[in-house]
Amino acid sequence: MLAAEMQKTAEEVNAGLLQRCRMNDKEACNELFSRYNRRIFNTAYRILGEEASAEDALQETMINVYRGLANFRGDSKISTWISRITVNVCLGMLRRSKSKQTVDLDEEWAMELPANATPGIDPLQYASMQELRSFIAETFRRMSEKQGIVVRLHDMEGHTIQEIAQIIGCPVGTIKSRLFYGRQEFKDIFTTLMGQGRAQTHATIQ
């Protein structure tokens, strides 16, 4: 079966579940949520950077999805609609807490970093990787919210420009601009932090 046909089938299944959910079919609602709860949690965790906060976001998102089922008009894919709700919930949580904690991942090489030391990793190498992860996390905390969320959705979650435009509710051109400047912002902040870290290490050694 071609990928396009598989995608169509998935959307048809989702549409059927959605229709049943609107009829207060609890089994259909549970099935719909089970299809997306891991995706919702992963997105929330990457944005919020904390498992407990991601769990809270998951619960709030599911509540909002349930409440919004009757008003969903099908202008976008169900997955995109749910992602939009997830992002809005997470942004609301960030604003309420006035915190911009994010998971410390951005590029593929950063995603490969092990969370803990292993027998095959030299202690100095492990310490260096931990420092790198810290710099990446701090970089995301310092980034502007609008550009940071686009970088996360595109480079970390793998959403297309068009999907992000639907999720955030902005024109495609705006998303492209935020992604471009967001990547530049990440590079500038990260480079500065790395420079400061090296300077501090050098001063400590002396």
Provide the 3-class DSSP secondary structure of residue 123. helix
Q: What average pLDDT does this structure show over 101-127?
A: 47
Q: Is residue 1 situated within a structural domain?
A: no
Q: Is 124 found in the same domain as 78?
A: no
* pLDDT at residue 109 is higher than 80: no
Average pLDDT, the chain: 76
* pLDDT at residue 103 is higher than 60: no
Q: Is 88 found in the same domain as 77?
A: yes
Cβ burial, residue 163 (10 Å; 0-12/13-18/19+): buried
Q: What per-residue confidence (pLDDT) applies to 185?
A: 93
Domain count, the chain: 2
Q: Which of 101, 116, 149 is the last residue of a domain?
A: 101
pTM: 0.64
Question: Is residue 11 within 8 Å of residue 77, measured between CB atoms?
Answer: yes
Q: Which of 36, 67, 101 is the last residue of a domain?
A: 101
Q: Is 71 found in the same domain as 125?
A: no
Q: Which of 101, 127, 158 is the last residue of a domain?
A: 101
Where in the sequence is the domain holding 11, given as residue range(s)?
Answer: 7-101
Cβ burial, residue 102 (10 Å; 0-12/13-18/19+): buried
Q: Is residue 78 situated within a structural domain?
A: yes
Q: Is 73 found in the same domain as 53?
A: yes
Q: Is 197 found in the same domain as 110?
A: yes
Q: What is the CATH number of the domain that holds 33?
A: 1.10.1740.10
The whole-angstrom separation of Cα 140 and Cα 191 is 13
* pLDDT at residue 17 is higher than 50: yes
pLDDT in tens, 152-197: 888 878 888 998 998 888 899 999 999 999 999 999 998 888 887 6
Q: Is 132 found in the same domain as 34?
A: no
Q: Is 73 found in the same domain as 129?
A: no
Q: Is residue 173 situated within a structural domain?
A: yes
